[in-house]
């Protein structure tokens, strides 16, 4: 696979699109993260009003409590599978929690005490889960696959692994390192394991956080501290950069027709929306 390593300078950024508020400021805590949309178009994010909760937001931007997580758990990334089951990265108790469709009670889906967190999640078209696992203190991280409700280590001693995503065709896994400002791409084997790790892109300023692919395979990357979302082509070309109101975007998701994206913003405790 060809290496797509690009150094980007903030002086050359081109800004397209701007965001507006979807929810009110500080309806969520500064730990807001994990936006995800179910098949009915409901939007979810963690830490509604207080840590350890999940909020649901209707199509008018009104947020309410969906559920409280048990036993001191605090969520981060959220993903839905094709059956509308919700998976939550529980970074305090080293779990991935699952809430089945139509329910609100979280149960432990997978657990491993040797993990640092987990932080963010991705799910492939065949249902395989992947989890980033940063250690912020020493600026390292690991990468895991979840299969048969068990964690399987893919790679250890990486940089601070954070945002993670699978391409729409299920062929590639993208993982970023926040402190090192790099995004790596792997080829995904039929069994969910990965091979041929390649540097996809490298930035020279600001941090990286959550990221998502649109239906065309373009990757939307939250630039933490810069207050933008960088849009990258499947070949690693910077297509545009979206200006946000807040400076600390933590994660991003799309509505079901990909005509809008929702961004969780830590310094404003809210969700911003961009019409695409």
Domains defined for the chain, CATH in brackets: 7-275 (2.120.10.30)
Contact 103, 120 (CB under 8 A): no
Rounded CA gap, 195 and 145, in Å? Answer: 13
Mean per-residue pLDDT of the chain:
94
Q: What is the pLDDT of residue 18?
A: 87
Q: Give the residue carrying structure tokens 């005509």.
A: 259
Q: What is the pLDDT of residue 27?
A: 97
Q: Check whether 186 has a pLDDT greater than 70.
A: yes
> Global pTM?
0.93
Summarised one tens digit per residue, pLDDT across range 153-184 is 999 999 999 999 999 999 999 999 999 999 99
Q: Check whether 11 has a pLDDT greater than 50.
A: no
What is the pLDDT averaged over residues 210-219? 98
Q: What is the pLDDT of residue 16?
A: 63
Q: What is the pLDDT of residue 15?
A: 56
Summarised one tens digit per residue, pLDDT across range 42-92 is 999 999 999 999 999 999 999 999 999 999 999 999 999 999 999 999 999
Q: What's the burial of 274, exposed, middle or buried (CB within 10 Å: 0-12/13-18/19+)?
A: buried
Summarised one tens digit per residue, pLDDT across range 115-155 is 999 999 999 999 999 999 999 999 999 999 999 999 999 99
- Residue 96, strand partner residues: 89, 110
Summarised one tens digit per residue, pLDDT across range 219-239 is 999 999 999 999 999 999 999
Q: Give the residue carrying structure tokens 């390593």.
A: 5
Q: What is the pLDDT of residue 120?
A: 97
Q: What is the pLDDT of residue 13?
A: 44
Rounded CA gap, 238 and 231, in Å? Answer: 6
Which CA distances in Å does 71 have to 97, 99, 100, 222?
12, 15, 19, 30
Q: How many CB atoms lie within 10 A of CB 171?
A: 15
What is the pLDDT averaged over residues 259-266? 98
Q: What is the pLDDT of residue 12?
A: 40
Q: How many residues does this entry show for the chain?
A: 276
Rounded CA gap, 226 and 235, in Å? Answer: 23
């Amino acid at each position: 696979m060809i290496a797509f390593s690009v150094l980007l300078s903030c002086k050359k950024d081109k800004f397209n699109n701007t965001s507006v508020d979807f929810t009110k400021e500080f309806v969520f805590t500064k730990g807001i993260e994990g936006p995800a949309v179910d098949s009915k178009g409901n939007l979810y994010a963690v830490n509604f009003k207080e840590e350890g909760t999940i909020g649901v937001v209707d199509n008018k931007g009104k947020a309410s409590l969906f559920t409280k997580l048990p036993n001191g758990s605090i969520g981060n990334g959220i993903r839905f599978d094709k059956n509308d089951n919700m998976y939550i990265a529980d970074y305090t108790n080293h779990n991935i929690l699952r809430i089945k469709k139509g329910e609100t009670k979280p149960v432990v889906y997978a657990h491993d005490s040797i993990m640092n967190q987990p932080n963010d999640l991705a799910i492939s078209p065949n249902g395989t889960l992947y989890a980033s696992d940063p250690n912020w203190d020493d600026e390292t991280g690991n990468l895991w696959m979840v299969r048969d409700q068990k964690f399987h280590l893919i790679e250890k001693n990486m940089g601070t692994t954070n945002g993670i995503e699978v391409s729409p065709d299920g062929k590639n896994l993208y993982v970023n390192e926040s402190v090192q400002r790099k995004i790596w791409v792997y080829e995904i084997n039929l069994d969910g394991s990965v091979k041929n790790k390649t540097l996809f892109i490298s930035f020279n300023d600001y941090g990286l956080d959550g990221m998502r692919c649109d239906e065309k395979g373009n990757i939307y990357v939250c630039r933490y501290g810069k207050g933008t979302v960088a849009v990258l082509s499947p070949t690693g070309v910077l297509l545009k950069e979206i200006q946000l109101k807040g400076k600390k975007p933590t994660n991003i998701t799309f509505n079901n027709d990909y005509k809008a994206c929702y961004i969780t913003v830590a310094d404003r405790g809210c969700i911003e929306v961009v019409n695409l």
